A and B are shown apart, each in its own frame.
Chain A
């Protein structure tokens, strides 16, 4: 049994149409999956489709990377996103930009208020610095990104500073910053419209040493929807 026992990577069955966020009524459901607590996920979202993420149990950090599906060298860039909007937080209307400055997705609906662009992913290696070497054998987001990215031919070179949806990282006047208690709550969702065909890579964060998941990683729901014709 691993040091962070209690893992549950078994697939969770779809939740069904009855529990869909009301605003998705009438849209075509292209994909409806639940990402297990602590697990990875990926999908290609076609241009014009919307990816909706539902924080099923609240305060679950969703580590999120994004690539141009046609050329994965063009990928989400935190600094280009931050520079273009002049703000470090993502909120409704934020455009997720690539390292070329191009728009990859737009946050078209957000029930939380703001999301993190600066904290990056947890890794076994960074955990060793933040909490001590006793955490090195715990699961971490970079492990999820590497495993899931490998399915698409992506490797370590392809991982860059990611978005943390539902994670709260205030920056104080003197530059002090940290991951603090979250702003999310059970059932809160957000939707991202793909501005071109994109590959989305997710780690449903397994971190248990800081408040990003309320010290209890939980599942999230992924819905890809399309406007009805």
Chain B
């Protein structure tokens, strides 16, 4: 039976309209849920009005979010092979963005975990990792390119069977008026990469299904998420499973928050961020 016959002929506008409308309400595993409040998986007691966005992103796919200051974005590695590559921009001035080098250098620490700041190139905190039961993340290997995926899997195009992270991030960036040259080095959640004494990369991979990371945004931000395998994942098959995203209303850090008092570098970073936000009325 053809699809058209499910809702009658599509030879006329009214038939085509009926056919199109008959598709509404279809549920698949990986999709946004709108209104977000009707989705499952929210923290207990979270008011419906505070539930901002709900989406499960397929392996080899991407999404983007524009978030306000204080918003918490939760990532869940549902099946254990998600790898969420993140690019973050300050919504108030899009040329301020995640700076991986500053993030690791300023915190004297390359391995991200709870309490870590994701820093911009302007000495400010874009987001804070406020919860993390994975601890397996990556600040070194970045995301994949079309050329590398073509060589490894036979295809790297955004619409192919093994999309490259960069191809997806270019599309996500374009949705916010950003060009390829706006894309900085990214960090990746849920697939660990470590460095040996001689500098060699060691892929440690996932800690298993169900790992959760929460980011709290300290500035209004554009967040691009590409869910693709790490470029140093040694498995021959393109292995990428869904990541669930929930975003809800929260409160940005104050100078008294534990993340802001943890180190002198953090105190100055949150100081810079909070003064900037007040000055701009954010």
Chain A residue nearest in CB terms to B194 = A175
Within 8 A of A (CB), among B99-124: 99-102, 104-106, 108-111, 119, 121-124
In the complex formed, the residue of A with least CB distance to B141 is A83
Please, which residues of chain B bring their CB within 8 A of the CB of A102? 147
Report chain B residues within 8 Å CB of A72: 181
Given contact pairs A102-B147, A118-B101, A177 touches B108 in the complex (Cβ within 8 A) = yes
Closest to A87 in B: B199
The 0/1 profile, CB within 8 Å of A marked 1, for residues 158-170 of chain B is 0000000010000
Q: Beta-carbon contacts of A60-86 to B below 8 Å, as 1s and 0s?
A: 000000000000110101111011101
A130 within 8 A of B: yes
Residues of chain B from 148 to 163 with CB closer than 8 A to chain A in the complex: 148
- Does A83 contact B142, Cβ atoms closer than 8 Å? yes
With A99-B145, A177-B108 already in contact, the answer to whether A128 and B272 are too (CB < 8 A) is yes
Q: Is the CB of A78 within 8 A of B142?
A: yes
Q: Is the pair B147, A126 in contact by a Cβ cutoff of 8 Å?
A: no
| Shortest CB distance B259–A (Å) | 14
Assess whether B199 is in contact with A100, with CB atoms less than 8 Å apart.
no
Is B265 a contact of A86 with CB atoms below 8 Å? no
- Whether a CB of chain B sits under 8 angstroms from the CB of A228 is no
| Residue contact A123 to B185, C-beta cutoff 8 Å | no
B62 adjacent to chain A (CB < 8 Å): no
Q: Does A216 contact B (CB under 8 A)?
A: no
B141 adjacent to A179 (CB under 8 Å): no
Interface string of B200-234 (1 = CB under 8 A from A): 11000000000000000000000000000001100
Considering the complex, give the chain A residue whose CB is closest to the CB of B148: A101
Q: Contact: A126 with B123, CB < 8 Å?
A: yes
* Interface residue? B92 (CB, 8 A): no
Q: Quick check: B201 and A101 within 8 Å, CB to CB?
A: no
> Smallest Cβ distance from B68 to chain A, in angstroms?
23
The CA of A18 and the CA of B115, in the complex, are separated in Å by: 55
- Which residue of the partner chain B has the closest CB to A119? B105
**A102 to B181, alpha carbons, bound, how many Å?**
15
Q: Are B146 and A100 within 8 A (Cβ)?
A: yes
Contact B181 A78 (CB under 8 A): no
Indicate which residue in B95, B108, B180 contacts A156 across the interface (CB closer than 8 Å): B95
Interchain nearest-CB distance for B127 vs A (Å): 16
- Do A78 and B185 touch (CB < 8 A)? yes
Residue of A120, A160, A178 touching B108 (CB-CB under 8 A): A178
> Which residues of chain B have C-beta atoms less than 8 A from A129's C-beta?
102, 106, 119, 123, 265, 268-269, 272
A147 within 8 A of B: no
Q: Is the CB of B110 within 8 A of A118?
A: yes
Contact between A175 and B110, CB atoms less than 8 A apart? yes
Instruction: Please state if B265 and A130 are interface contacts (CB–CB under 8 Å).
Output: yes
In the complex, whether A125 has a CB less than 8 A from a CB of chain B is yes
Q: B residues touching A (Cβ–Cβ < 8 Å)?
A: 95, 99-102, 104-106, 108-111, 119, 121-124, 139-143, 145-148, 166, 179-186, 194-195, 197-201, 231-232, 265, 268-269, 272
The 10 A-B residue pairs whose C-beta atoms are closest, nearest first, are A79-B142, A120-B101, A125-B123, A175-B111, A89-B199, A101-B145, A101-B147, A161-B101, A171-B195, A73-B181
